[in-house]
Amino acid sequence: MIEATATPVEVSLQAELLVAETPGQIVRKVAAAAEQDKLPRYVAVEGPIGVGKTTLASRLGQAFRYPVMLEPVAENPFLDRFYAEGAQHALPTQLFFLLHRARQVADMPGDDLLGPSLVADFLIEKDKLFAKLTLDDEEFHLYEQIHANLNMNPPRPDLVVYLQAPAEVLQQRIRDRGIGFEQGIKTEYLAELADAYAEFFYYYDEAPLLIVNAAEIDFANNHNHFEALLDQVFQMDGARQFFNPNPTLL
C-alpha cells in the first residue's frame, strides 16, 4: 500500500532546510517581479538524477514563498532494488512512481481560476520517459493501460526549467551526495537517461521552457548563480530560451 503523501505546504517546510537563506536582494527582486506580473505561478523543474532539480525547486519555492511538491524518491521501496539488480524491479518501481505522481496531481492546489501557486521537481508528462527506458514491451503495454485509466489532467505549468549536465557530472554529484542506494548507478545509464531527457524536451511544447546548462553552477549555495537564473526566469519571452552561464563571470 502506498503511504499518504505530505501536503505541498508540509513538503515546502521540509524543503526550506535544504537551501541557504534567501538574501534581501533576491527577496526584493522577486517582489518587484510579482508587482510587474512577471512571477510564474506554477513552475516545474526537470532533469536527470543528480542534476540538482530538487535543490533548485526548493530554492525557488523558498524565494517565491510557494509550496513545493517533490518526487517521492525516498518513499519508493523498489528503487534501491532497481539500482542494485536492474530490470527485474523496473515495473514495480515505475508503477509506484506513476501512482504516487497521480495522487500528487490530484492534490495540487487549485484555489482560484489562475491555477496553483506551486513549484514541483517533476513534470508528470515525463513519466513515460523512464517507462520506455526501463520496461520491456509487455511491461510497457501494461504501464500504458494503467496510465490511461488514471485519467490524470495536470495543470499546465507557467514555466518548465530543464536542467542539463553531462553523465560524468551527474555521476560525480551522485557520489558527492552519498545516498547509499544511488552509488551503484552506472555512468552508461546516466548517459542514456540524459539522452532521453534531451529527446523529450526537443519536442516539448506544452509550456514555456527554459533550458539551463547546469554543469558548473551551484544553485544551493551560490546566491549569484541563483540570482542570474531568476533574471532569466523574469525575462522569459517566447516559448523556449537557453541559459548557458559562465560561472566565473557570475
So what's the pLDDT on residue 163?
A: 97
> What is d(CA 188, CA 195) in angstroms, rounded to the nearest whole number?
11
Q: Running along the chain, 250 residues long, what does each successive block of 10 average in pLDDT?
A: 36 42 85 92 95 94 93 86 88 94 81 72 89 94 94 90 96 90 89 95 95 91 90 90 76
**For the chain, what is the domain count?**
1
Residue 81 lies in a domain: no
Residue 41 lies in a domain: yes
So what's the pLDDT on residue 22?
A: 72
Amino acid at 222: N
Active site residue 121: yes
* CA distances in angstroms from 31 to 15, 39, 81, 183, listed in the order given: 21, 9, 45, 40
So what's the pLDDT on residue 229?
A: 94
So what's the pLDDT on residue 108?
A: 80
Q: What is the CATH number of the domain that holds 67?
A: 3.40.50.300
Residue 26 lies in a domain: yes
So what's the pLDDT on residue 57?
A: 96
Which residue, among 3, 115, 7, has the nearest Cα to 67 in the 3D structure? 7
Decide: 122 and 101 in contact? Cβ < 8 Å: yes
Residue 5 lies in a domain: no
Q: Is 143 exposed, middle or buried (0-12, 13-18, 19+ CB in 10 A)?
A: buried
Residue 116 lies in a domain: yes
Catalytic residue of the set 121, 136, 218, 237: 121
> What is d(CA 180, CA 74) in angstroms, rounded to the nearest whole number?
11
Domain limits for position 31: 10-75+110-122+157-249
Dihedral, 211, 215, 219, 223 alpha carbons, nearest 10: -100
So what's the pLDDT on residue 126?
A: 87
Residue 115 lies in a domain: yes
Residue 90 lies in a domain: no
So what's the pLDDT on residue 112?
A: 56
User: At what angle are helices 223-234 and 53-64 packed, to 10 degrees?
Assistant: 70
Residue 24 lies in a domain: yes
